Chain A
Amino acid sequence: MSTRDLVLVALFAAIIVALGLVPPVSLGIIPVPVHAQSLGVMLAGVVLGAKRGTLAVALFMLLAAIGLPVLSGGRGGLGVFMAPPSGYLYGYLAAAFVTGYISERFVQSGQPGIVQGTYFFVAALAGGVFACHLLGVLWLAYVTGLGLQAAFLGTLAFIPGDALKALIAAFAGRAVMVGYPLLPSRA
């Protein structure tokens, strides 16, 4: 792994940390301010691609595990990996990978903006919403012992907010592609 890739991974992990440290933002139509950290995870896939995006998220999780309060709300330590919502944290890894993989596969530099944006949106939905919530629900159902039905019902409430984040990630990914393209092509 080149030094430049290592630095890109570390810098993006720093971005994800920073998104949890700064005050929550209001995402457009949703009145409740949310932390942009899960948005940062989708962005990692969209900007850096599958391998570096996943590594950035893994590095971020490592920081949380070793005792730094990098999760939004100042949380950290090993406990965040063994709590009921931990499935969503593990889901971040899947989210970055799936989002990055789909982005690499479908987005190319020659395409018109709207096409790129649409592919990024699909990628962010598949990763940040589907994959992340899947792991969240599985963890809630089987490790926490809540059962699939209750876990699924509980997760539904968060899907609209995350879908909106996926849309934002798509816009941002397209803009970063214009300004400083880093996405490797896997087409």
Chain B
Amino acid sequence: MNTLYLDGQSLLHRLSTRAKLGGLAVFSVFLFAIGHPALLGIAAIAAAFAYASTGIDWKPGLARLRPAFITIAAVTIFALLFQPPMEALIILFRLTALMLAAAAITATTTIGAFIDTITWAAKPFERIGLVRAADIGLSVGLVIRFVPEVTLRYRSIRDAHQARGLKVRPVTLLVPLIIQTLKNADEIAAAIDARGIR
């Protein structure tokens, strides 16, 4: 599984994660507060510039945006049916600006930087006793570590079904997957405790 981060030296790459996330929040509020299509169009163009500045190539850059843009196009068409065309234009610009800004931040922020920021943000909750900030990074690491194993187990179960001539059905596939995966929990927990990680 490759992350969506791309190495580079742009301005966005050099900004701190907190600044980028804060900026995105402010940008979102701005986008929803403004109702004028011209201003929203300018915002969309600015976001497009930000995305282009990350240094991403044309093809992968557009490929990333495609799923989101398909839904935006569908919504715009739907909106044209039920609402005046100016409204549909506002929706189009607003959502496109959001999509581009978010994609720009994703392309310029490493997983490590995100985890550091989230751990920092969770510290106040740690004082209340709601969560341990270090647990967040640990859990993310655990999931990344175990996804390949779960995928492999899924394929083995599916192959075992097919070898026995059974049709591949969701229930008969998922139940062994869940039980076998979760049964490892005790061993893994013991390994974590033995290493004093937590």
> Does B127 sit at the interface, judged by CB under 8 A?
no
Which chain A residues numbered 1 to 52 have a C-beta less than 8 Å away from chain B? 1-4, 6-15, 17-18, 21-22, 25, 27-28, 36, 39, 43, 47
With beta carbons under 8 angstroms apart, the residue of A36, A77, A168, A179 that contacts B106 is: A77
Interface residue tally on A, bucketed by range:
35 or more
Contact A25–B173 (Cβ < 8 Å): yes
**Residue contact A83 to B72, C-beta cutoff 8 Å:** yes
Told that A67-B114, A147-B83 touch, could you supply 13 new A-B pairs with CB distance under 8 A? A6-B192, A9-B139, A12-B182, A62-B140, A63-B144, A66-B114, A69-B1, A75-B67, A78-B105, A85-B71, A172-B175, A175-B171, A179-B175
User: How many angstroms between the C-alpha atoms of A145 and B155 in the bound complex?
Assistant: 42
- B59 contacts the other chain (CB 8 A): no
Query: A84–B75 contact, CB under 8 A?
Result: yes
B182 x A79 contact (CB < 8 A): no
By a beta-carbon cutoff of 8 Å, the part of chain A in contact with chain B is: 1-4, 6-15, 17-18, 21-22, 25, 27-28, 36, 39, 43, 47, 59-60, 62-63, 65-70, 73, 75-85, 140, 143-147, 149-150, 154, 168, 171-172, 175-176, 179-180, 182
* Contact surface of B with A, Cβ cutoff 8 Å: 1-5, 24, 28, 32, 64-65, 67-68, 71-72, 74-75, 78-79, 81-83, 87, 90-91, 94-95, 98-99, 102-103, 105-107, 109-111, 114-115, 118, 131-132, 135-136, 138-140, 142-144, 146-147, 149-151, 154-155, 168-171, 173-175, 177-179, 181-186, 188-189, 192-193, 198
- Asked if B99 contacts A82 (CB within 8 A), the reply is yes
Which residue of chain B has its CB nearest to the CB of A77?
Answer: B106
CB-nearest residue of chain A to B67: A75
Contact B106 A146, beta carbon cutoff 8 Å: no
Residues of A within 8 A of B193 (CB): 3
Is A14 a contact partner of B143 (Cβ separation < 8 A)? yes
